[in-house]
Each structure stands twice: as C-alpha cells, then as structure tokens.
C-alpha cells in the first residue's frame, strides 16, 4: 500500500468518525454549554487513528466499515476525554491543542472537568446502545474491553506524573508508556477482534499487534517531540524535556530510540503473519506510526 | 417498619457495600498512589443509600441481596467519582468531606482528577464483569441505564453552576435537581428493576418512585443546609446561601419546601401501590429521606 493511499484512507475514515460523533453529540438533550464544550473537546479534526484500528481489525473478519463506526467512535471519545482532562491547569496546563484553545481555556476549568466526565460517560452509553451492535453479549464485551483500556490509560498517566519527579528506568518507562498510550491503541485492535468474533489465536495476535503499534506510536511521538517544530506538531514541541518527562529518547538517545521503534514495527508485522492481504492496511498503519511527521 | 429497624438495615448494607468495594479495589493491579486516592474517595463510610435502592428494588422481584451487591456498588462508584471531582479547587473547592480531607487535599488536584476518572471507569468495568450478572443482555442494559444516569448527573451539575450566577426559576431548579441528584437515585430503582427483569408497568412505577425519592432527598438536603449544623451534617452547613445556589428553600422558604417534600413522599408511596409488604423497606426509605437529620 502506498503512502498516499494510506493517507487518503486515514483522512476518509477520520471524516466519517467526525461526522458520526457530530451527529451523536447533536442528539444529546443536554445543556447548551455542556454540549458545546463536549463538541470542542471531540470534534477537533483529530486523525482518529484509534477508530481506524478498530475498523481495520474488524475488517479482517469481514465486518463492514459502518458496523464498526460506533465502536471506534466510543474509543475515540475516551481518547478525547483524556486530552480534555490532561490539558487542565492542574494537569499539563496546556492552552492550545491542534491550533485552538483547549477546552478549559475556551470555557473554564470546571466545565472542562465536567465535559471530560461526560465524554467518558458517553463512550459507554454509545457502546451499550443496541444500535451499536445487535448482540448484547458483544456490547457487554466491548464495554469490558474499553473500561479496562481506559483504566490502564489512567494508570499510565499517574506513572507519567510520578516520572516527572523521580527518574524512571527503562523498564518503568516502557511500562508507563504501554499503559498511557499503548492501552487504548491495543484496545482498538481488541475491539475490532470482538466485533469480528475472532477466535482465541486471532485475538491474541491482534492484541500483540496492538501492543507493538502502541509502542511504535509512543516512541515516534517522543522522537518527534525532540526533532519536530511546534508548527509541524500542532502542539508545543520540546515539552518532554521542559517538563522533565521520562522518555526512552531522554534516557537512551535518539538513535537507540529509532532502533526500538524499528523493532516494534517488525514485531507488529510479525503478529499479522497469519493474515493475508486483508491485513495490508494494518501493516501500512504501523509503518505509518513509525514514520509520521506530526 | 420502625425507624431503628431501617437504620439497622441501612448500616448493614452500607457495611456490605463498603466491604465489596474494598475488595474490588484491593484487586486492582494499579499504581499504589492511584489506588490509595480511589480508596480515599470511595471507602469513606458513606450511607450507601443508592446501592440500598438497587437492592430493595431488585428484592421486589425475588433477587437475593448478594446478587445485586456489585450493581449497587457500581452505582455508588459513580456517586463517589462525582464527589471527588465536585470537591476540586476548580469546582466547589471543598477541603473536608465526612470529617476527612477531600481527595485533592489529601493527595493533589491532578491525582484527584485521575482518581475520579478511574472510579467512573471502574463502575463500567464492574457492570460489564460476568461475575456481576451471568446474562450479558442484563449487563448491557445496566451499562445503558448507568451511563444515562451518570450523564444526566453531569448535566445537572452544569445547570447548578449556571444557577450560581443567574437566578433560576422554580421550574429550572426542579429540572436541575432532578438531574443533579435525582438521576442517580432514579437509576438505582431502575437498575433494581433491570436485575429483577421487571415487566414494563413495574419498571415504570419503580422509575416514578425513584424520581420522587430523588426529589425528596434533594429538598431535604436543601432544608438541612439551612437548619442543621456542620457537625450534624459532616460537611459545611450554610453552603448553598454562601455559594448563592438556587434552591427551592432559597426561592420559596422552608415551609413551602417542606410541603413539596411531603408531596414527593406521597407520590413515591403511591407509585409503590401495586406492591405488597415486600416494598415496605422502599416505603420506609423514602420517608427516611424526608426526615433524616444528616
């Protein structure tokens, strides 16, 4: 798969996810300011890579794209809520995201806390909605997978904050990143396997792919934080060093980080070996995670 | 049912809920500080009235107490998360709750945000756990009911904050309170109906009871805020007036509020008319909501 075909597929599905989320939020009979803040925190032109992972994993088992859209959107809502809370003054104190004021800056911190809570809540409302999947057993399984991933993400955020005051060793950094960023990416692959009713072995391999994809994504992020400009990233570059974050790049340097990144890509590709050309998009995706420039 | 029998039943079930939650949190393989903050925010000797509502509603249909414990605990986790976030400096800025420092005061605001997020997430993890209920259709329905209640609670919180700067009229106050406090109480009755696989009419009546119980609970709370001491309440008294909160008591005075309270109790009792003595505890409970002194 060429890079431009992949970029097109990413952009197309991001648009579909954005449209789905916009329609879902438009249907909420909630106070105007709350819905505005929820929209601000979720309809932000994100790349929607996690929903794409759900879609492409489900597609391996013949699930039609529109059948995985709601599930991917629920996962994205969890990602969005975490950013809304992450940006708060008491957390990272970020004023800009994707070239726009963050939710607390555009509204106020109290509303940003509540809007984040509501986005997280809405993720589970969406998954438990019969329109998302007709089989309640699948809905319950999706809720279980997403709640586990969402909790692991929070665990990673706590370890990340602890890493600002105490230097983490390599093992602790890998653990923190596998939770903070990796958990939701792995959950994307897992939710696709659930939608596709994958067998035990297929599901295990997709999970392995998801773990590798999460690692590749995070290491690439850490490298970009050092090598890219703020304009390129759409967020403040050099933040990790400024905040004294424990990263593999800080600990081992860029060359070693690139080697680990290449290793993660190789492992992810290996996990897909049992699949044929139907997994080509997942293969292109993990390569893209490693080579992306923003 | 005598008042002392009810008090004993409340205390007993509160203890069972506390033990269940303690055991569930002890099983989390999460960073120590996160689990400590989650424990601090949830194992606080609360009265656990919402889990009791789940239990007593389910008991109408012959569901054994231990079969509704996990569901009630999930509902309580949502209540607990909302208090953890409510107390934050950017929200109510409360330093004490039940005679102990609030979570942000005992730890720090960032951890309180994350611990609240994790408690909310854990509620859905618990409901989607096959050990909570063997039937996935019931699990999915419980998730749908709880996510709706949790979102409505947030809507009420937003309206409540708006009521601090713009005077709400009576209708707006009732709406705000029905969402902020009423939604989770109504959800308790609803989850009991789901566990008991109540028929349509029974479920509708239990919902009606839950709405009345929520109203009674909130009006009693507003009256106590004016008439009780901080020591009696275990939290700061007179807060509503100090924060310029819109309440029925502030708008209509204490006597009118007491009348509305009595009307809510009468409506709640009427909704239970189709049930026999098996609903006596629910009857005692709504009377207790109206006459409690803390």
Q: How many CA atoms, within 13 angstroms, populate the side-chain half-sphere of residue B73?
A: 27
- Touching A: B residues 91-130, CB under 8 Å: 91, 108-111, 113-114, 116-118, 120-122, 124-125, 127-129
Superfamily of domain A3-291: Farnesyl Diphosphate Synthase (1.10.600.10)
Q: Which pair of tokens denotes residue A282?
A: 């997942």
Average pLDDT rounded to a whole number, residues B229-243: 73
β-sheet bridge partners, residue A101: A96
Which among A81, A79, A83 has a CA at the least distance from the CA of A91? A83
β-sheet bridge partners, residue A96: A101
| B234 band by pLDDT with thresholds 50, 70 and 90 | low
CB contact under 8 A, A143 and B124: yes
Of B85, B120, B158, the CB nearest to A34: B158
CB contact under 8 A, B154 and A90: no
The answer to whether A133 faces chain B, any CB pair under 8 Å, is: no
The answer to whether B26 faces chain A, any CB pair under 8 Å, is: no
Q: Which pair of tokens denotes residue B185?
A: 């109480």
pLDDT per residue over A8-58, tens digit each?
999 999 999 999 999 999 999 999 999 999 999 999 889 999 999 999 999
Mean pLDDT of successive 10-residue stretches along chain A, which has 294 residues: 84 96 95 97 94 97 96 98 98 94 98 98 98 97 98 97 90 95 98 98 97 96 86 73 83 94 97 97 94 78
């Amino acid at each position: 798969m060429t890079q431009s075909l992949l970029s097109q597929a990413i952009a197309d599905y991001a648009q579909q996810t954005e449209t789905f989320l916009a329609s879902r939020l438009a249907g909420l009979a909630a106070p105007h300011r709350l819905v505005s803040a929820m929209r601000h925190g979720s309809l932000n032109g994100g790349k929607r890579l996690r929903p794409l992972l759900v879609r492409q994993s489900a597609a391996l088992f013949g699930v039609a794209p529109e059948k995985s859209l709601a599930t991917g959107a629920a996962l994205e809502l969890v990602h969005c809520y975490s950013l809304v809370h992450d940006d708060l003054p008491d957390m990272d104190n970020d004023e800009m995201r994707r070239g726009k004021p963050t939710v607390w800056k555009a509204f106020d911190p109290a509303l940003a806390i509540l809007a984040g809570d509501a986005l997280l809540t809405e993720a589970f409302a969406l998954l438990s909605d019969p329109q998302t999947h007709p089989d309640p057993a699948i809905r319950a399984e999706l809720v279980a997978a997403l709640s586990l991933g969402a909790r692991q993400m929070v665990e990673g955020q706590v370890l990340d904050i602890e890493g600002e005051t105490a230097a983490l060793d390599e093992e602790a950094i890998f653990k923190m990143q596998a939770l903070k960023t990796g958990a939701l990416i792995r959950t994307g692959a897992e939710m696709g396997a659930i939608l596709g009713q994958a067998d035990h072995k297929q599901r295990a391999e997709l999970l392995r792919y998801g773990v590798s994809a999460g690692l590749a994504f995070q290491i690439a992020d850490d490298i970009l934080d050092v090598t890219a400009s703020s304009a390129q990233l759409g967020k403040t570059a050099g933040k990790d060093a400024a905040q004294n974050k424990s990263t593999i790049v800080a600990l081992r340097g860029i060359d070693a980080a690139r080697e680990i990144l290449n290793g993660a890509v190789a492992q992810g590709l290996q996990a897909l070996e049992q699949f044929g050309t139907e997994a080509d998009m997942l293969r292109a995706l993990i390569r893209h995670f490693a080579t992306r420039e923003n």
